[in-house]
Amino acid sequence: MRLSVLLLGAWVVMALAGQLLPIAPDRILLQDLFAPPLQGGHLLGTDELGRSLGERLLAGAGVSLLVALVSVGLSSVIGTVIGTVAGYLGGWWDRVISRLIDIFLAFPGLLLAIALAAFLGPGIDNVVIALSVMGWVGYARLARNQVLSLRQREHVLAAVALGRRTPDIMRLHLLPLMLAPLLVEASYGVASAVIAEAGLSFLGLGVQPPQASWGAMIREGVRYLLVAPHLVLVPGLMLSLVVLSANRLGDGLRDRLDVTSRSRR
């Protein structure tokens, strides 16, 4: 888990460096076409236009971090509110929301994001919207299940008997007990958002040229895989490390926050 935290921290540092350092990821240097790593003054080499692969990697880290944080934040807030309302109020609220969740779950998430991105048009804003529409369902289902198991707790029944308002009961008595599983779900959501953003950019539905994105870098480098494999290997390796680290962090948080498994150990 420590290694995962370090790798994710390095990802955040790269994203901040891409915004703060005086880099030019779109600068074309025709004299440095397909420069291999550690040659020509470029640590990671250059692409088919002579652009520094290291600088584009930093710029792409900022894009993936922005998309992941915003989409996961929107998805978690919307899904948690919807799931909490469905689980606590029950009745027709629960039936309608449950059917809506079932409808969204009937479609593969990435295909739904591709359809929405194609409908809305390419661009980072539309990618965030597509991923948020795709991602809220998991949080809503998790929040609903948690509320169904928590609403009969003694402290919740006591709050109802004392006449506390329903929003206050949800916010003060239910949400704090749901934070642990929602946090684990969010860590997995970061990994899903990063890979989905890269996939949409690879298909040309995400970040548009000349703006750097790890998925777009892989798409551009596939054509020159036999000539300059580092064009694919460098962003592909970074993408794999970030996704693997986010998933491993989720596994670690789940083990640490699971009271049942801790008591067994």
Q: Could you read off the pLDDT of 150-179 as tens digits, one per residue?
A: 888 888 889 888 888 888 888 888 898 899
Question: What pLDDT sits at residue 29?
Answer: 85
The rounded distance, in Å, linking the Cα atoms of 214 and 202 is: 8
The rounded distance, in Å, linking the Cα atoms of 99 and 130 is 20
Bridge partners (DSSP) listed for residue 42: 39
Residue 224: closest CA among 92, 20, 93, 47: 47
- Compute how many other C-beta atoms are within 10 angstroms of the C-beta atom of residue 125: 12
Average pLDDT score over residue span 87-95: 88
What's this model's pTM, rounded to 2 decimal places?
Answer: 0.89
> 226, exposed or middle or buried, with CB in 10 Å at 0-12, 13-18, 19+?
exposed
- If DSSP codes are grouped into helix, strand and coil, which group holds residue 113? helix
- Cα separation, 59 vs 207, in Å, equals 12
Query: How confident is residue 259, by pLDDT bands cut at 50, 70 and 90?
Result: low
Q: Is the pLDDT of residue 263 over 50?
A: no
143 has a pLDDT exceeding 90: yes
Is the pLDDT reported for residue 197 higher than 60? yes
Q: How high is the pLDDT of residue 1?
A: 76
User: Lowest-pLDDT range, 40-44, 121-125, 250-254?
Assistant: 40-44
Q: Which domains does the chain have, with CATH numbers?
A: 51-264 (1.10.3720.10)
